[in-house]
Chain A
C-alpha cells in the first residue's frame, strides 16, 4: 500500500502498527458503474456492482437487471448493451471513434444514472524503456513505499501534441494479470514534449509487462487522480472519487483510445 511520501519516511523510522477496533457505521449499498468505450474490439463494456460494508464478506454483488445504453453523440448512433456475464454488459457493434463524444445511460431500480465522455485523438505509444535496475521498495523512491516488493522504472515513449491539453492513463498488465495501480500523466509542465517521466511498476526480473496507453478526457483524469488518492488513503480530504456520473452513482464512464506495447524486465 502506498502512502504520502513524507508520512512514509516518518513512519519508516520509528513506529509500531497494530489492528484496532473502530465502530464503523453501516452504509447504504450504492450502485457502482465502470463503463468503457474503446477503439479496440470487444473492449467496450459496462460493469455494474454494489458496495458493501467494510466487514461484509466478498464477493461484491453484481447487478443483473439494469437497462444499459451508450449513445454516440457525434453521429447519433445508439447502442443497447446486454448482460453477457454476471454484471457485465456488452454490445459487439460498439467500437469507439477518435474525437467522438459519448453518453451513457444506466437504469437500476428505476433510477437513471447518466454520464458523458469524449474520446480524445489517438496518440501512439512509441516505445517502452527500462531505466535502472529492479530495486527493492524498502530503498525508498517516489511511490515505492516501504514494501517488500520489487519495483522497476519504465519510461513510456510518446510525443505530446502541443496544440491540445492531453491526459493519459496507463493500464499495466504484469504477465497475465492487470495491476490495479493508477498510472496517469497530464501534459501540465510537459506540453509538446517527448515524455521523459517514468512509471514506477511493481515487477521482478523476467516479468513481461504489457502497457496500454489510453488518452482520456479531463473529467476522467480528475476522477483517476481522486481514485488514486482514495486507494492510497493519501487525500487531504478523504472522499469518494470525483465521478462523471450523476445521481450519486460511484464509478466512471471513460471513452478512451488505446495504444499498446510490451517490455520484458531485465
Chain B
C-alpha cells in the first residue's frame, strides 16, 4: 500500500515538469438543459495538438501559453464555440453549448475536428452519448442502448428469451454493468426484451470490450459504464411514451435554476393484459416496472453533489401457484470537489442489490426461496491534469459483498439456509493518458486488486471426487487473493485519417455466475471466490486499425484479439444445480477466445448505420469434461453479422432496419437412447458437441413526427420485431415422434414470432 502510493507520487512528479503555462479550467454544459457534457474537445485553434476533452462530469483543465489565445470548444451535434481569451493568469471558465438543429449536422460537422476513433487512445471502445442515442434504431418503441451495443461486432445477444450478452467469447457474467458506478447484476427485463437501462434517463454509455483502463475492474470480458442524466436545471419538462407493450414517463426540472435539478423516470410493461384474452392464462402475470431518479446540487463552483437511484422489478406468476419476482436496486451518492484547477476529486458511496424470490404454493407445504447479492461500495478517485501531455487518474475502491445464495422459508417448521458469505474486494488503481507526440498516445496503468473471503460461515474442503472432507468455520479471512492487473493501450496515428492501435489488459474476477448451460434464467446463482473457487484471470491482446473515409462520412475498423482465461468454471457432468454445497458440482480449467472484428460505419447523411462482422472462437479445457480436450464454450459463435440502417425520408419520417445473424450456441445433444424402468433415457457422448440452429432476425421500425416545436414534441413509433417470422430455437428437446413412437426426434420451441409494437412519444 505504502509502496504503491510512493510510486504513484513519483510517477506524478515525473510528469510534472516545470513550465510557465497558464491553466484554463471549468465545466462544459448543455445550454438548454444544464446537463454536463462528457467528451467535449477544447483546443487551441492555432495548434490543435494543444487540447483536451472534458471528463465524465464535464470538467476540463488545459494548459495554455500566456497571452492571446483563440480557443475552440466543439462537440458532436452541438454548435462550436470559438473564443479569444487574453490569459495572464489561470482562469476558470465555464461554457454552455447550444445543440444544433438536426438537419444541419452534416454540413457543419465535416468542417471540424471531432473526437473520433482515430484520435482515441482506447481500443475496442464504443461511446454512445445522449446526442447519438437519438440516432439509434427504435425497438419496441424505445431506443435501448444495451440492445444497440449487442449489434456491434464482438458483442452478441444471448438470444431470444435470454438475459444478457457475451463479449468476445466471454461468459454472460464477465460483463461489468455499471449504472452511476453501481453494479447491476442482471441487466435485463422481461426475458431480455428490454434492458434495465431506461434510455430516457441515460446520458451516455461507454463499452470497453476487455480493454478498460485501470479504474475499472472485476470482470474479464467487458465494461458497460452507464451514466444517468442529471435532470434539466433550466426548465421543467415532462416526456414519455404510451405503447402497446410498455409506457414510460420522465419528469425533470430545476430545484434552483442553474444550480440544482431532479430527474424521475418510470416504466411499466403490461404484456400480461394480452394473456387475459386467453382463458388458459387468465390468472397469470408477466410484467416489469422500474424507476430511475437523480438529484444534484451545486454548492459552489468547486463542489457538487449527485444522488441517484434505481429500482426495478420483474414479476412472473402462474395462477397463484407459482410466482417469481426479481430485480436490482441501486443507490449512488457522489461528491465532486475541485482541489485546484488541476486536481479533480470524486468520492462515491454506492449500494447495490440483486435478489429474486420464488413462491411455490402447493397444497401440502407452500414455501418460498429467497436469494440475494448485496454490495456496499466506497470509491475515491482523483484526476490530475499536470499538463497537456498527461492526465492521471488514481484512487481506491472497497466493496463489501454479502452473498445469500438461497434461503428456504415455509409455513411449517422447515427452514433451510445455504451459507451466507461475506467478502471484501479492494482495489488501488493508477493510470495515465500520455500524449507522447503528434503520432503516439499511450494509456498505461495498474490495478492492484485484493479479494478476501470472510469467515463466520461454513466453507468446505473437498477431495478429488468433490466429496466434502472437512467443514471450516472460523472468523477472520478464510482466503485472500491479490492480483496485479497491468493495462496498456497505444494509439499510433498514421495520418489524420487512420491509426493503428494495440492493447494488453489483465483483468481478474471474483464474482461468478454459475449458469445453466441450456438457458439463462434470473435464478442463476452468483457465487464468490473462496478457498475452492479461485479468481478468474483474463489476459487479452488486441490489435486494431481504424480509418476514416470520405471526409469522415465512413469509418472502417478492424480489430483482432486473443484472450487467455484461467480458473474458468463449469458444471460437472449431470450437475445438480440445487445442491446446497454448489462447490461439489463445479469443475475448473482454462479458456481461450480469439477472433477478428470488422466494422464499417456510415456516420453522416440521410442514411446512417453500420455493418459488422465477427469471426471468432471461444473454447474451454477442463480436466473432467470431454476427457480434458478443448471444447466449444456455449457462447462460441463462429459467425456474427449485424446490419443496421437508418434512413431519414424527410424531416418527419425516419425508418430503420436491423438484421442480425449468428451461428447457434454450442449445446449438448443426446447421441443415443436406452430404457430404464420403461422410461426412455438419453445417451450422451460429448459436452457441447452440437449446435443450435443459426439465429437470424430482421426488425423494422418507423418514426413519424406529428409535431415538433421548440417546446413540444409528439411522435408515433411503429415497430415490427422479427419481421419475417423466423422461428429461432429457444430450446430443443428430444421426444418420441408423434408419427412413429419408435423414433426420437428433435423438437424446437421458438419464442416471439412477429412482435408488433406501437407507441406514442411526447415531450413538453
Identify the A interface with B (CB < 8 A): 1, 3-7, 9-22, 24-27, 29-30, 32, 34, 49-58, 60, 131-132, 138-142, 153, 155, 178, 180-181, 188-190, 193, 196-198, 200, 222, 225-227, 229-231, 233, 235-242, 250-252
Contact = CB atoms under 8 A, between A and B. Distances in A.
Nearest to A226: B574
A142 B362 contact: yes
Q: How large is the interface on B (under 10, 10 to 19, 20 to 34, 35 or more residues)?
A: 35 or more
Nearest to B742: A57
Contacts of A190: 414
Given A11-B749, A17-B747, A24-B671, A131 B364 contact: yes
B749 A52 contact: no
Interface string B731-754: 111110100011111111111110
A235 B732 CA distance: 13
Given A54-B670, A189-B408, A196 B364 contact: yes
B674 A54 contact: no
Interface of B: 161, 191, 275, 280-281, 284, 286, 316, 318-319, 321-322, 324, 360, 362-365, 408, 412-416, 514-519, 521-523, 570-577, 580, 585, 668-685, 687, 690, 693, 727, 729-735, 737, 741-753
A231 B680 CA distance: 7
A27 to B, nearest CB: 4
A30 B732 contact: no
B678 A236 contact: no
A24 B734 CA distance: 11
B751 A20 contact: no
Contacts of B286: 13
B751 A27 contact: no
A242 B745 CA distance: 25
Given A7-B519, A237-B573, A240-B684, A51 B752 contact: no
Given A11-B731, A190-B414, A54 B321 contact: no
A10 B743 contact: no
17 contacts: A6-B316, A6-B523, A25-B671, A26-B671, A30-B672, A30-B683, A51-B672, A52-B672, A57-B742, A58-B741, A141-B362, A142-B322, A178-B678, A227-B681, A230-B574, A233-B733, A241-B681
Given A198-B365, A230-B574, A49 B674 contact: yes
A237 B291 CA distance: 37
A51 B681 CA distance: 9
Contacts of A222: 576
A72 B82 CA distance: 96
B574 A237 contact: yes
A18 B748 contact: yes
Given A27-B683, A30-B683, A20 B729 contact: yes
B693 A20 contact: yes
A13 B281 contact: yes
B668 A54 contact: no
B523 A49 contact: no
Nearest 3 pairs of A and B residues by beta carbon: A180-B679, A239-B573, A132-B363
A197 B574 contact: no
Given A11-B749, A16-B727, A51-B673, A235 B284 contact: no
Given A198-B362, A238-B668, 10 more contacts: A3-B733, A13-B284, A17-B749, A21-B746, A25-B685, A34-B677, A132-B364, A237-B571, A238-B574, A238-B670
Contacts of B523: 6
B416 A189 contact: yes
A59 to B, nearest CB: 8
B732 A14 contact: no
B668 A18 contact: no
Contacts of A189: 408, 414-416
Contacts of A238: 518, 574, 668-670, 682, 684
Given A57-B743, A197-B364, A236 B580 contact: no
A20 B748 contact: yes
A141 B321 contact: yes
Contacts of A236: 514-518, 571, 575, 577, 585
Contacts of B670: 24, 54, 238
A236 B577 CA distance: 7
A240 B573 contact: yes
Nearest to A57: B742
B318 to A, nearest CB: 4
B743 A55 contact: yes
Contact of A239 (B360, B518, B687): B687
A142 B368 CA distance: 12
Greatest chain A CB density within 10 A among B413, B577, B681 is at B681
Given A51-B672, A57-B742, A239 B753 contact: no
B117 to A, nearest CB: 39
Nearest to B516: A236
A242 B574 contact: yes
A9 B316 contact: yes
Given A9-B322, A49-B674, A20 B747 contact: yes
Contact of B676 (A17, A196, A227): A227
A188 B668 CA distance: 30
A15 B730 contact: yes
Contact of B517 (A22, A55, A197, A237): A237
A241 B683 CA distance: 9
A252 B737 CA distance: 27
A20 B733 CA distance: 10
A242 B684 CA distance: 12
Nearest to A177: B678
Nearest to A5: B322
Contacts of B360: 142
A194 to B, nearest CB: 10
Contact of B674 (A50, A139, A188, A198): A50
B175 to A, nearest CB: 21
A266 to B, nearest CB: 14
A226 B672 contact: no
Contacts of A139: 318-319, 321
A266 B226 CA distance: 58
A51 B679 contact: no
B730 A11 contact: yes
Nearest to A30: B683
Contacts of B414: 189-190, 193, 196
A74 B651 CA distance: 89
A239 B684 contact: yes
A20 B726 CA distance: 14
Given A34-B677, A196-B364, A241 B731 contact: no
Contacts of A200: 362
B574 A241 contact: yes
Contacts of B681: 227, 230-231, 241, 250
B92 to A, nearest CB: 56
Contacts of A237: 517, 570-575, 668, 687
A231 B727 CA distance: 26
A44 B414 CA distance: 36
Contacts of A132: 363-364
A162 B690 CA distance: 46
Contacts of A131: 363-364
Contacts of A20: 693, 729, 732, 746-748
A155 B362 CA distance: 12
A34 B683 contact: no
Contacts of A181: 679
Nearest to A130: B363
A13 B675 contact: no
Nearest to B678: A180
A131 B366 CA distance: 12
A141 B732 CA distance: 23
A22 B749 contact: no
Nearest to A200: B362
Contacts of B280: 138
A211 B348 CA distance: 61
B750 A15 contact: yes
Contact of B574 (A57, A155, A239): A239
A88 to B, nearest CB: 13
A32 B674 contact: yes
